Structure 1
Amino acid sequence: MSDADGFQLALLGFGAAALAYGALAVRLMLSGYLRPQAGAPASWFLAAVGFSAVWGVAGTAAVWAPGAVGEVSAAAADLLRYAAWFGFLLALLKPGLHESPGGEVRRLPSVAWAACGLAAAALVLPRLIDDERVARAGLFAWLALPVLGLLLVEQLYRNLARDGRWGAKPLCLGLALVFAYDVYIHSQAVLFGSFDLDAFSIRAGIHVLAVPLLFLAARRMSDWQARLQVSHRLAFYSATLLLGGAYLLFVSGIGYYVRFFGGSWGRALQLAVLFGALLVLAVLLMSQTARAKVRVFINKNFFAYRFDYREEWLRFTNTLSAAVSPQEMGALVIRGLADMVESPGGSLWMRSADGSRFVETARTHRVVPADQEAADSAFVRFMAAEGWIVDLDEARQHPQRYPGMTLPAWLPPGGAVWAAVPLMVGEEMTGFALIAPPHAGAALDWEVRDLLKTASRQAAAFLAQLHAAEALLEARKFEAFNRMSAFVVHDLKNIVTQLSLMMKNAKRLHDNPEFQQDMLATVESSLDKMRQLMLQLRAGQAAPGGTAGVELAPIAKRLVDAAAQRGRTLELERVEPVNTRGDAARIERVLGHVVQNAFDATPDSGRVWLSVARVSGQVHVVVGDTGLGMTRDFIENRLFKPFASTKTATSAGVSGGMGIGSFESFQYVRELGGQILVDSEPGRGTVFTLVLPLLQTTTGSDLQMTAPA
């Protein structure tokens, strides 16, 4: 390329870059990037685009009017552009810089700003000191800038969650394109001592190609901090960068050799080798399979062990801990095991509820068409007995290494499944995982087996703990249902007692019209109660009933009448017109239960009394009797506990007390904010005092809750 052609190409490139970056900067300002609430990343992004536009203008001026001033101005603008991009990338990485477990990541800001300082020194010192060594050192300083840029781009992309990489791809591709080309031209300058003018002339044109990617990234990421969620514990990634840097340096050397010995075709061959190298490098960066093969090669030849066990264990544990629901755990187990060996995924098989087969419960990669395997098959029995990881290819080629095992017919022979990993809890196999072949086609050697075996045991423990938690939750649900059923049985017992007493009296009074009326009323009341019990069972909770004002005097009167119908006397010592809050039916049931217990514990010759009074801003309902009484031990340790009672079976054939009524009464009084006080002594009787909240009323208004006097 002639100097005139290079001049025109550079002039067009810098002019186009200035216009493209300037248009993007205006678009960003109109989108609100100047607002304070836009955040630090947005401000740095706008600054980087703006300085890039300034660099384009300065480059245009330097090409149009060559001279020291224009050259220094363009270089200074280039340095400011680099500094702004570094600030932007570091602002995105900031959430995880201080919590990163590795010191390399925490040192990135210092290294980046130090590199900018060295580049600034390299811009000034060669003009003050006429020494070739100083000039060459300055070229190295400028080469460090794009290398650090690639490093920061890699840290950003690799530390993003998988779901967040979609939005970051245009940004990372655009910046990687610019930084990678700068690595090339600066590495050429380091090799030859000066810049390749042909390559340098299209440098600004490369930036023009990157601007649409940056524009797309800005559209996808209107809020950089909210959309790009970088890990709060950054990991330092350098393998791809080191390989890329070494590769580009190698290609630069090859390009120099080709150009030197290639005659008139040397420049064309050099560019062909360059873009072929960039294509291969892009494949390495974007292809998971290629990266996996490179990683396996490095691990085999440069490290004593293939795996960094600490990092693998932390990553696997974090993967399992990410489950937010039981349904996600199976997929996370497969993902964790597959990631350890660079596999695309697999499927998880767990023992069915009846234990007769294993069924597929989760998968991240379709590996087999079947969805169940008998628990007594030779394949399952072998893994359960030996606890071995089965290499499917090895089992087909050398079946003698797996004695007594027969592969299921549904396992495809084409290598769709790489390994079967049993999930062992102690000596029991609770499931197994089928892993797809790794991207790199790694062998299932002893190190992989040990890693998968240990990880599978941890996964099995996680799954067993999850199933135990589910079983406990189910047991608690049954416990709640059984407790509710006990309440229902208690209420049914009371209804049966009432109906039994009515049938006993019917033999003597069946011709009495008044008795017939009472009998119909009793049957109707029993029917209503049974309907409420059916609703309670159907709803799975307490019988419906709101909270309202409850007058206690009418309840006391009804209790006296009910006792009289049974041939007993309930004495009313004192009944004040007081009110409490709650559900009237439930409060009447609680008081009726306490009164009935008093009658059950008191012979016909004894006394049972009831009083309702206001005491110190509360309602005291006192039920006393001169019956058998209770011991202090029973009151402190068994009273108000379900299935604890002093009652025995009655002569009418009705079973003795269950303790459910007392427990339900105690629970409901506590729900209302009250308490039950008990004073009893064997042989002298018992006094129950139900302390309930006082509900005061005002004339001409509904019941209202007021502060007690």
Structure 2
Amino acid sequence: MALSLIAVLLLLVTVLRIVQLEKRSAVRSFLAFPVLALAVLELADLFALESFWPARDWKRTGLFVEALLPPLWLLLSLTYARELPERGLTVRTRVLLACACLLLLVPAFLPVTSFYYAPDFPVEPLLFLADAGFYFYIAILALLVMALINFESTLAHASSEALWRVKLDIVALVATLSVLVFYYSNALLYRSINMELVPLRSFVFIVASLMMLYARTHWRGSARVKVSQAVLLKSVVISVIAVYLILLGLLGEGMRYFGPQFPRVLTLALCFSGGILLLLLLLSERANREFKVFLHKHFYQSKYDYRSQWLGLTQRLATFDYADELAHRVLQAYCEIFGVRGAALYQHQKGVGWYCVGGLLELEPMAETIEDDSPILASLREKQWVFSSSDANPELTEADRALLARYDISFVIPLSEGEALSGFIVLGAQIVPDEQYRYEDFDLMKTIARQVSVAMQHQRLSEQLTQAKAMEAVGSLATFVAHDLKNLAATISLVLQNAGEHIDNPEFQKDMLNSLGNTTKKMQGLIGRLRNLGESELLQRRPVEILSLARRCAEMVQGRTIDVTGSCQMVLGDAEELQKVLLNLFLNAVEASAPETPITAEVGCNASPFIRVTDRGCGMSPRFIRNDLFVPFRTSKRTGLGIGLYQSRQIVAAHGGRIEVASVEGEGTVFTVHLPVAQAEPARGCSAAA
């Protein structure tokens, strides 16, 4: 009775502590619900055994709680400390949880007598199972074993950093599930539930509660484990659990021949305590390292499985997004492979003559910089080998020795690019202080360092390439801006050329003011687009009468007469953008033609509206049209930028149209712009234009 009361109290305290921390950290989990269910089950069984309030059917209450245990523990095992996909749990997992929830219907519709009969209960706390109770508890047993396997999978895939955060919680949960599996295994072995084992269950609940409470007194946040196909300790843990359960079963059978029940419960409690300690031992970094060193020293020719180490390192270096993540992965690999408690990456700073910390893992923050002329670095450059602080190292100064002692540095590994020392990796204290490192360890350190140097060079070159592309984009933008400004400047230049002769002409003054106003408006529009750079620029589509638009554009070209003819045609488009296209075609025709040669623009419709610009200029070769005409930054003009026609085709394509070109060298060129027709009636616009 005392054990059960203590268990209930500690379980409730654990629930409150879990809720308090989750509320404070804004992180939610399902951990509190199974623990609360255990407290209610423990209380119901205690009241049933002690005959408290006999009018209340406490065993029926216990049946409902037992039916609730599988879905709660399955949900917890699938979500606790795991990195879930964006879509959440898989469909198969949700179906399994739904099936587990169906167990709640069994005690709801069946009477207690359908589960078991107990003629001398609670004098003899033994429940003989009927068929319904037998299959009910077998289902509970199977689902709890699934939850136990899920927790083992989480442990198997956890990194050393994540394992350090969650191992106490998961060991406590695994211990709780193990005692429940043992408790309900009587249903399979003896077709009965032996409630004499309730004190054993209470004892394990007490130990598990204390472990979870202790973990929360040193709480540093939870972790997220991504379960993948890489299994590290799975085979070892399963083997240990299998041997442990077999021995536990043998001990359980042997205890049937020993006296009163108290020694049996005590012995089983010691067995479960030993199992918990064994599991903690398996999760201890130092114990694992010592065991690995012992095995390789006495049973293997090589200390390392080079194939698995190489595959693991390649996978780490192949999947990173930025330089800091690469440094973290490299340092984590060194810590796990060589059994050290932390590491730091130093990188050379060009032009300043020292090395500074570029990455840190599980070490005290290292703010120091190391000068180029440090004896440690001199040793790395001279020997091109791993520096070990356990060697004599007579060349070290007192400052160097103080640095090594302060951070408990065990090894320094050079990173080289050609003959230059580009950086080095510092390894912290050894997990096993008396472990001897030999040539095989140093050779693997150097081999990994060479691969890391290559990966870091690739990362740096990738960043430089990204910067170069960004500068190229800026240059391209500047070129487009310069092209628009060149066209505007050409308009102003033509106005100034004619102002000397016709400045006193009122009509010229009116045209000049109109041209300058339009040019100023275009400049302001260009400045506005530069301010909103990066935002999507949508076309302002409206019905546009292109004959009038062509005539206005022809009037903007000062100093040359462009003959615009044809019929009124309405298209759906952005008048300002289409004006850019026409001005570019007109200015190209002016630049390609002699002053006395005619330039014409025809507006018509042939299945769709078109504008045809014809000149009798120098023309273009078929090779230039095919390879260079619409390619940005390629031009046949001495002062051209090579983006006008490229920009024009982009604008026309955005309208859903196309540009066609026909040209003969020495005879001239014809550009035809086809545009989609507008649904609006053109008559009114044409009369206004006329």
Normalised by the length of structure 1, the TM-score is 0.67
Q: 2: CA distance between counterparts of 1:699 and 1:87?
A: 76
Query: Is 1:25 the equivalent of 2:46?
Result: no
Q: Are residue 479 (structure 1) and residue 479 (structure 2) matched?
A: no
Structure-1 residue corresponding to 2:7: none
CA contact (8 A) 2:175 2:276 kept: no
For 2:300 and 2:101, the matched residues in 1 are separated by 40
Between the aligned partners of 2:122 and 2:324, the Cα distance in structure 1 is 66
- Aligned partner of 1:610 among 579, 595, 601: 601
Looking at structure 2, the residues matched to 677 and 518 of structure 1 have their Cα atoms a distance apart, in angstroms, of: 32
Distance 1:178 1:543, change over 3 A: closer
| Distance in 1, Cα, partners of 2:360 & 2:153 | 30
Is contact 2:602–2:611 with CA below 8 Å preserved after alignment?
Answer: yes
Correspondence for 1:436 among 428, 439, 444: 428
CA distance 1:389–1:74, change in 2 (3 Å): farther
Cα distance change, pair 352–584 in 1 and its aligned pair in 2 (3 A)? farther
Letter in 2 for 1:475: A
Q: Does the CA-based 8 Å contact 1:21-1:211 persist in structure 2?
A: no
Partner deviation per Cα, 1:237-265 (whole Å, 9 max, x = no partner): 344566688899999999xxxxxxxxxxx
Q: Secondary structure at the match of 2:234?
A: coil
Work out whether residues 200 and 268 of structure 2, in 8 Å CA contact, stay in contact via their aligned partners in 1: no
Distance 2:565 2:682 in 1: 27
Q: Which amino acid aligns with 2:325?
A: E
* 1:340-389 deviations in Å (ceiling 9; x for gaps): 22334322333447675433233221345325434565544543565422
Tell me, in whole angstroms, the C-alpha distance in 1 between the residues paired with 2:294 and 2:130. 43
Equivalent residue letter for 2:487: N
Change (3 A) 1:631 1:37: closer
Cα distance in 2 for residues equivalent to 1:665 and 1:386: 63
Per-residue Cα deviation, 1:616-648 (whole angstroms, up to 9, x for no partner)? 1x2221101111111111111221223322224
Of 560, 584, 588, 2:575 maps to: 584
Alpha-carbon distance change, 390 to 368 in structure 1, aligned in 2, over 3 angstroms: farther
1:630/1:471 CA distance change after superposition, 3 Å: same
Q: Pick from 613, 628, 633: which aligns with 1:623?
A: 613
Matching residue's letter, 2:633: F
C-alpha spacing 1:609/1:405, structure 2 compared with 1 (3 Å): farther
Amino acid at match of 2:295: I
Whether the aligned pair in 2 keeps the contact of 1:44 and 1:88 (CA below 8 Å) is no
CA distance in 2: counterparts of 1:298 and 1:21, whole angstroms: 48
Give the alignment partner of residue 628 of structure 2, picking from 638, 641, 645: 638
Structure 1 residues 438 and 584: CA distance shift in structure 2, 3 A: farther
Residues of 2 paired with 1:32 and 1:293: CA distance? 34
- Give the alignment of 1:419-498 within 5 angstroms: 419-441=411-433, 442-498=435-491
Q: 1:554 to 1:249 in 2, by over 3 A?
A: closer
Report the CA distance shift for 1:63/1:559 in structure 2 as closer, same or farther (over 3 A): closer
* Distance across 2 between alignment mates of 1:267 and 1:552: 101
* Aligned pairs for 1:256-405 within 5 A: 280-281=277-278, 283-352=280-349, 356-370=353-367, 372-375=369-372, 377-380=374-377, 382-383=379-380, 386-391=383-388, 393-394=389-390, 397-399=391-393
User: 1:244–1:281: 8 Å Cα contact kept in structure 2?
Assistant: no
User: Quick one: distance in 1 between partners of 2:633 and 2:682?
Assistant: 45
Provide the residue aligned with 1:5 in structure 2. none
The 1:542/1:22 distance shift into structure 2, 3 A limit, reads closer
Using a 3 Å threshold, how does the CA distance of structure 1 residues 647 and 405 change in structure 2: closer, same or farther? Answer: farther
Say whether residues 1:671 and 2:676 are aligned partners.
no
Aligned to 1:205: 199
- 3-state SS, counterpart of residue 362 of structure 1: strand
The farther-off stretch of 546-555 and 244-253 is: 244-253
Change (3 A) 1:408 1:594: farther
User: What secondary structure does 2:403 align onto?
Assistant: coil
Alpha carbons 2:74, 2:143 under 8 Å: kept: no
Question: 1:62–1:74: 8 Å Cα contact kept in structure 2?
Answer: no
Within-5 A mapping of 1:200-239: 203-210=197-204, 230-235=227-232, 237-239=234-236
Instruction: Give 1:235 deviation, angstroms.
Output: 4.8
Contact 1:389 1:420 in 2 (8 A): yes
CA 1:267–1:299: 2 relative to 1, 3 Å = same
Change (3 A) 1:586 1:353: farther
Which residues of 2 match residues 90-239 of structure 1 at below 5 A? 90=146, 154-155=152-153, 157-159=155-157, 162=162, 165=166, 168-177=170-179, 203-210=197-204, 230-235=227-232, 237-239=234-236
How many Å separate the matches in 2 of 1:385 and 1:312?
28
Number of equivalenced pairs: 586
- Give the TM-score normalised by the residue count of structure 2: 0.69
- Provide the residue aligned with 2:667 in structure 1: 684
Q: 2:519 aligns with which of 526, 533, 540?
A: 526
CA separation in 2, counterparts of 1:526 and 1:699?
28
- Partner Cα distance (1:63, 1:301) in 2: 57
CA distance in 1, matches of 2:127, 2:71: 32
For 1:596, the aligned partner's letter is: L
SS for the counterpart of 1:413 is helix
Give the superposition deviation at 1:399: 0.9
Mapped partners of 1:317, 1:207: distance in 2: 46
Secondary structure at the aligned position of 1:676 is classed as strand
C-alpha contact 1:292 1:439 (8 A) present in aligned 2: yes
1:40 maps to which of 78, 81, 96: 96
| In structure 2, distance between residues paired with 1:504 and 1:469 | 51
The 2-side partners of 1:331 and 1:603 are apart by 68
CA–CA separation in structure 2 for the residues paired with 1:602 and 1:341: 77
What 5-or-longer segments of structure 2 have no aligned partner?
1-44, 51-57, 76-90, 187-193, 213-223, 252-262, 686-690
Q: Provide, for residues 538-561 of structure 1, a one-character-per-residue CA deviation record: whole Å limited to 9, x for no partner.
A: 444599563312331221111232
Q: Structure 2 vs 1, CA of residues 386 and 607 (structure 1 numbering), >3 Å: closer, same or farther?
A: farther
How far the C-alpha of 1:201 sits from its partner, in A, is 9.2
Distance 1:381 1:282 in 2: 46
Aligned to 2:26: none
Which of 600, 604, 610 is equivalent to 2:591?
600
Structure 2 letter corresponding to 1:627? G
Partner SS, residue 693 of structure 1: coil
Say whether the 8 Å CA contact 1:155–1:236 is kept in structure 2. no
Q: Structure 1's 644 and 272: CA in aligned 2 closer, same or farther, altered over 3 A?
A: closer
- Cα separation, 2, equivalents of 1:322 and 1:61: 65
Alpha-carbon separation, structure 2, partners of 1:342 and 1:412: 18
* Cα pair 1:349 1:361 within 8 Å, conserved: yes
Conserved? CA contact 1:536–1:542, under 8 Å: no
Aligned 8 A contact 2:357 2:369 in 1 = yes
SS in 2 for 1:434: strand
Moved more, 200-209 or 297-306: 200-209
* DSSP-derived class of the 1:40 partner: helix
* Identity within the alignment, %: 25
Matched with 1:141 is none
Inter-CA distance 613–484: structure 2 relative to 1 (3 Å threshold): same
